[in-house]
Amino acid sequence: MLKARPTQNAEKIVTLLKAAGETTRLRLLALLAEGELSVKDFTEILGQSQPRISRHLKLLVDAQLVTRHAEGAWAYFRLADRGAGRALNDWLFEIVDLATPELRRDREKLAAVREAHREQANAYFAKIAGDWDKLRSLHAPDSAVEAAIVEMAGGGEGRLMLDLGTGTGRMLELLADRYEYAIGIDSSREMLAIARAKVDAAGLGNVQVRLRDITDIGDHAGSADLVIIHQVLHYFDDPAAALIPAAESLAPGGVLLVVDFAPHNLEFLRTEQAHRRLGLSDEQMNVWARAAGLEVEKVHRFPSGHDGGLTVCLWRLERRA
């Protein structure tokens, strides 16, 4: 058994080097060093056909230099963040001159592709901006709430943060110094387009966004140091359905932050903006927390400051002793 290991290691190294040792695949790796990309992005940048790009990407994925994440009919790719693939990628970008004309042109085209993504996201956001601004005018300024979120998140840098219902990705930006890497999850393609554009603009290469149901996160069980659910639970008939998998995703000592509205009687939010619950009470939160094996450790409230406004609540939940 001891004698077999050098052979296996040698074969693995040969596979890695073969996968990386081709011009197009090296260009793909160099582009992925700038962040997560789709096959469509690559075809626009490299000017090669989708089948050809897909074949190259398959070789890189098989060699574990790149990871693939399916999102409906689309797939997104990023550099491996662990193992021998991560080590070889790190070595490659130490010795490869990214200023060569071909690689420089690729990055210029990537910048143009990302700018197109931002324009598309902004066009969608413009459609919903009226409703968005109307809702924001009803509650306390975001700056006060966000300062409290940063404080409650704690000062240490965790390994993984999950942002469940990431929306426009604001929490991924706000808490960027609180994690080694982060995953934003949302069920809206349009919102994820905005989040991706914001993440790219902020240069957050350690962030992924994923299209999926926030209750379907079993593959992250026991792995997250920080989980945040920001203005999401009021869309659930049963918020415990989201809190339980969120609790299961926490690593030992992990923290769950929940931001939502206190109980209110603004019925138009139910009829016009699909809110299923008109706010969440402390009593309800305690019940749902206990069902998830958590307890509410701290609560912060932010009244709107005017009649008929919304009070924003920030709950910090931890595992029950």
Over the chain (321 residues), what is each successive 10-residue block's mean pLDDT?
48 73 89 87 94 93 87 77 84 84 92 82 63 69 91 84 93 92 90 88 90 92 96 86 94 95 87 82 90 93 84 93 68
Residue 188's pLDDT is 85
Query: What H or E segment, with its residue span, contains residue 143?
Result: helix 142-153
221 inside domain = yes
Q: Can you tell me which residue has the tokens 């990302």?
A: 114
305 inside domain = yes
Cα end-to-end distance, the chain, whole Å: 44
Biggest CA–CA distance in the chain, Å, is 76
| Residue 102 shares a structural domain with residue 188 | no
| Residue 19 shares a structural domain with residue 107 | yes
Residue 139's pLDDT is 82
Strands 158-164 and 74-79: unpaired
117 inside domain = no
| Residue 104 shares a structural domain with residue 175 | no
128 inside domain = no
Strands 207-211 and 224-230: unpaired
| Residue 188 shares a structural domain with residue 50 | no
Domain residue limits at 106: 4-112
Count of structural domains within the chain:
2
Say how far apart CA 194 and CA 74 lie, in whole Å. 17
The residue among 162, 320, 311 whose CA lies nearest residue 242 is: 162
| Residue 222 shares a structural domain with residue 305 | yes
Say how far apart CA 311 and CA 35 lie, in whole Å. 37
Say how far apart CA 246 and CA 214 lie, in whole Å. 8
Residue 4's pLDDT is 42
| Residue 181 shares a structural domain with residue 235 | yes
- Give me the CATH number covering residue 76: 1.10.10.10
Say how far apart CA 224 and CA 102 lie, in whole Å. 39
